[in-house]
Chain A
Amino acid sequence: MSSALLIEDLAKRFTAGAKPAVDGVSFDVPPGEIVVLLGPSGCGKTTTLRCVAGLEHPTSGRISIGGRVVSEPERGVLVPPRERDIGMVFQSYAVWPHMTVRQNVAYPLKHRRAGGGNSKTDIIAKVNDTLELVGLHDYAERPVVSLSGGQMQRVALARSLVYRPQLILLDEPLSNLDAKLRVRLRDELRRILKQTGMTGLYVTHDQSEAVVLGDRIGVMRDGKLLQMAPPDEIYNRPADAFVANFTGASNVLRGRVLGRTGDKATIDLGAVGKIDAWTPQNLAAGENVRVALRAENARLGESGATNAFTCKVIERRYQGMQTVYDVDMGGQRLEVLELGTAARHTSDGEIALTLPADACWAYRDDGVAVE
C-alpha cells in the first residue's frame, strides 16, 4: 500500500544562498496515521507543511500525496494547492467572516473542480454530517463572526473535513486558543481525526499536543528532521541531545567515555565517579560526552545497585503537586523532581541519589549548545 504522504529530501530556500529553511527532510505517512512535526519556532516545520500544501514552492526534493507526485522542482512538477486533494486548518482559523457557518463549510463542496458535481441535497447532508461531527450542528446558520475562537476553529476543521480529502494539514491550530480550551480541543481533535480515519500532518511547538495527537512525532531543528518515532520512543530514547533537551531532559552531566558495549556506555564523570548510560551513538573511549537526564527520572533518597551517588540539596522549591530540588553532585548541578504533595528531603547533609542507567542518555559533546 502506498503512503498517503511521502516526502523525499525536501529542501526550501527563501533566498538563494541563504541558510535553507527546510534542509533535506524525508519521511512518509501511511494512510490513517497522524504525524506531528514538533520543534521550536523557525525550525522549518511550518514551511514543510506549506510545501506539502503547495502554498510554498520547494527548492528541491519530491512530495507525493497518495502515490501522485505533486511537487518535484527538478522535473518541473508543481501541482497547485487546489488540485492536491488536501484539507488545511490554519493557525488564524481563516474562516471567512462574510459567510455563515454553513456557507463556510459548504464552500469547498461548491467550488471544487475535482470530485465536484455535488447536488444541493448532497451538500446539505454532507455539511450537516460534518457539523455534527465537530459538535456545531446547532450553529449552522450563525454568522461565523459571532462564534468564539474555539468554535471558529471547529468550523475550520469541518471545512477541511467535509470533502474527505486524502490528507489533512493542521498548522498550529490550537495556539490561538486559551489554555483550558486547548486541552479540550486537543483531545477532541484526535477523536475526530481517528473517527474519520483521516491521514494527518500536524505542526506544533507544544510537546503535550504532539504527544497526545501524534501516532508518530518528528522533531525538527534548523530545517532538519532529527528524529521521527512514536511518542514513547521520542520520550524514552531520544536520538540526540537536542531532542532529549527539547522533550524535557534538562539535566546535563559532562564526562568522558570509558567504554561502550552495544548501546550501553560507561562514562567517567570526574569527581563524582562512573555512570552507566544508554546511548544511540557510536561512541568511542576517550570521547567527551553529555549525559542527559529528566528531572523526574532521578530518584532522591534511594540507593540503587548501579549509578548510586550522594548529593547535597542546595535549594528546595515546593510547588504543591511536586517539589523541585537543586542538588550538587560533586561539583555538577542537577535538578531533581519529587512527585507528591509532601516534600521529604531537607537541605542538610548528604543524601543518596540514584540515576537509573536506562534513563541516562549519553550523547557526543559537539560543543554546540543544545538550547
Chain B
Amino acid sequence: MTATSAAALPQTGQITAAPRRLGAPLWVAFLLIVLAFLVIYPLLMLLFGALSDSNPVIDGFGKFRPSLDHFVKVLFNENVHLAFFNALVACGGGTVLAVTIGLAFSWIVVRTNTPFKGFIAGASMIPLFVPPLVAGVAWGILGSPKTGLLNTVFKWIGIDWRVDFYSMAGLIIVFGIYYAPYVYMFTASALRNMDPSLEEASEVSGASAFTTIFTITFPLIAPAILAGSLLSFVVMLGIYGVPAALGAPANINVLTTYIFRLTAWSPPLYNTAAAVAILLMIVTAILVWAQQRILAGKSFATVAGKAFRPRALDLGPWRWFTFGLASLYLAIVVILPTLALVIAAFRKFLFIKDFDALFDMRQYSWVHFNAVFDNPLTMKSIWNTLEVGAITAICGGALAFAIGYTVNRTRVSGRTSIDLLATLPVAIPGLVVGVAYLWAWIGLPGGLYGTIWILALAFVARFMPDTVKALSTSFLQIHKELEEAAWICGRGLLGTIRTIVLPLARPGVVASMTLLFVLAIRELGSSLFLYTSDTTVMAVLLLDYYEGGNTGKTAAFSLVQTVILAVLLGLTNWLSRGAAQSSARVG
C-alpha cells in the first residue's frame, strides 16, 4: 500500500506541481502567523507588562523600561504570598475532597451492582456544566452565615449548628463537590480497563476485600488518580467564579481574585496583575506538564486492547446504601443549589424568619425577573454572549480543523511547531489569557479592545487545545487509505478534503464546534478584563449583579443563564447526534 501511494503521489503532484511546492510552506507560515498572533503575541505582552512599570494606557509603548525589579518586588509582596497560600489550601483541600468523591463514585459505578448505575453515572457529570459563579452564588444563598437557607432549616429542625460557606471551608467543599467529576472520568475508565483477574487473584490468595482495594486496586490505578487530581487542581486554580462568590465576602483572596482586584484598583495596577498572572501561569504549566507526563507513561492497569468481562461486586442489601450515597451527592450538588436559586429568585425578600415562612406563597413573585429584564444591559449581554459564542465556534472550529488536518494528516515540515503552539494554551488559565489580551490590545489605538472580537479571539486561543484534541480524534478514525484512494482517483488535496475528509469528519467537527460554543458562553475568567459596557456578556453581568449585593436579582439572572445553557446544551446534543446519524448513513 505504501508502495502504491508513494508511486501515485508524484504523479498527482506533477499536475499541480507549481502551486503546491510553494503552497505547503506558505500554508505552514500562515498557520504559524495566526497562532503567533493568537497566543505568542499576547503572552509576550504579558511578559512585557510584568517586567516593566510603564502603563500602556498612559505611557503608550514608547517608554518600555525593562527591569526584573518590578517582578521580584511582586514575588516578595505579602499579599501575593497570602493569595498564593490561600489558593494552595483551597485547591489542595478541594482536590482531596474531589479525589475522595470521585474514587468512591467510580468504584460504585464500575465495580458494584448499585441500582440505576447508568443514571448515576450520567447525572454525576452535570456539575461539569454548571458555571462556577452560578455554583458559588447558589452556595452563598444556601450557606451564608445569617440568612443561609441551610441555617434556617437547621434552626427549624432544632439543630444547634450553623454553617458558614463564606469561608475557606466553604470554598474547599464547593470546589471538591463540583470538580469531583474530573477525577471520576479518569479513575472510572482506568477501573473499567483493568483486568478483573488481578483483583480475583488477590481474593483467592486470601486477602480481604478491603486489603484488595488498598493493596491492588488503588495502587494499580494510581496514575489515573494522580492525573485526575492534578487536572482538578489546575482547573480549581484557574477558577474565578467560586472564590469570587464565596471568598470575597470573608476577604479570602486566591490568585485569580487577587489578580482581578489589582485591575479593579484605581488606577489599575496592570503591571502587578501581569506579574501575578505569570506566577499563576508558571504554577499551572508545571502541574499540566506533570499531568501529561503521568498520562504518557505506561499505565499499569490498561493491558493492550483486551476486552474484559465487567466484574460487578454483588453488594446485597448494601447496594441500597451505595445508591443512597450517590443520590445524596446528586442531591447536594444538583438539586439543593437549584432549589436555592429558585427560592431566592422568586422570593421578594430572602430573609426567612422561620421554616413556615418558606411556604408563604404571598412572598413569591416575578419581581426580580422583571427588574433584571428592565435593565437594558441584560438583553444586550445575552445577545453579546450568543454572538461571541457563535464567532468563537465558527472561527475556532475552522482554525482547529486546519490545524488538526495539518498536524495529523500531512508531513509538512513545521507541523510540530504548529502542534506545540496550539497546545500551549492548555497551561494558561482563562484569567491569565484575559490579562494577556488586555496587555496585547489596550494600548493599540483603533484596535480590537472594546469590541466583541477581542473576547472571541481570546476564547479561540483559550480553548484551542480542547478543540484541536477533539477534532484530532475524529481525524484518526478516518483511515488514511480513504484519502489516498481519492488522490489516486485524481482528486487534488483540497478536493479530497472537501469530498472525503469533511463529510466523514462532520460529526467530530459539529461536536467540537458545539463544545466550543458552550465553553465560550460560560467563560468568565478571560471576559473579566476584556469587556466594556457595550460588549458585556452574561457571566460578567451576573458578577455585576452579585457584587451589587441584590441576591434576588443575582439568583434570577443565574436561573436565566442556567436555562439558556441547558437549552443550548440540549440543542447542541441533539444537533451533533443528528450529524452523527446522517454520516452513519453516508459511511
Contact = CB atoms under 8 A, between A and B. Distances in A.
A83 B303 CA distance: 29
By DSSP majority rule, is chain B's interface helix, strand, loop, or mixed? helix
A86 B300 CA distance: 26
A90 B220 contact: no
Contacts of B354: none
Q: How large is the interface on A (under 10, 10 to 19, 20 to 34, 35 or more residues)?
A: 20 to 34
B198 A96 contact: yes
A54 B203 CA distance: 10
Contacts of B314: 57
B585 to A, nearest CB: 34
Given A92-B197, A96-B198, A98-B300, A80 B219 contact: no
Interface stretch (A108-116, A267-275, A319-327): A108-116
Given A111-B211, A113-B208, A92 B203 contact: no
A55 interface: yes
B300 A112 contact: no
Contact of A82 (B195, B206, B215, B220): B206
A51 interface: no
B202 interface: yes
Interface string B362-403: 000000000000000000000000000000000000000000
B216 interface: yes
B2 interface: no
A55 B211 CA distance: 17
B205 A80 contact: no
B306 interface: yes
Interface string A101-139: 000000110011110000000000000000000000000
A330 interface: no
A92 B222 CA distance: 21
Given A55-B200, A92-B195, A98 B205 contact: no
Given A92-B303, A94-B198, A159-B201, A112 B220 contact: no
B207 A82 contact: yes
A244 interface: no
Contacts of B219: 98
B524 to A, nearest CB: 41
Interface in B182-230: 195, 197-198, 200-208, 211, 215-216, 219-220, 222
A306 B208 CA distance: 65
Interface centre among B202, B205, B219 (most CB of A within 10 A): B205
Contact of A94 (B195, B206, B208, B306): B195
Contacts of A163: 205-206
A112 B206 contact: yes
A81 B197 contact: no
A239 interface: no
Contacts of B197: 90-92, 94
Given A92-B197, A113-B208, A55 B220 contact: no
Contacts of B303: 92
Contact of B208 (A57, A82, A96): A82
Nearest to B216: A96
B302 to A, nearest CB: 11
Contacts of A83: 206
B206 A108 contact: yes
Interface string A17-59: 0000000000000000000000000000000000001110100
18 contacts: A55-B200, A81-B204, A84-B204, A87-B204, A92-B197, A92-B303, A92-B306, A94-B197, A96-B216, A96-B220, A111-B207, A111-B208, A111-B215, A113-B208, A156-B201, A159-B201, A160-B205, A163-B206
- Rank and list the top 8 A-B pairs by shortest CB-CB distance, nearest first: A112-B206, A108-B205, A111-B207, A94-B197, A94-B201, A90-B197, A88-B204, A81-B203
Given A85-B206, A88-B200, A97-B220, 15 more contacts: A55-B200, A80-B203, A81-B200, A82-B205, A82-B207, A88-B201, A94-B197, A94-B201, A95-B201, A96-B202, A111-B211, A111-B215, A112-B207, A113-B208, A169-B204
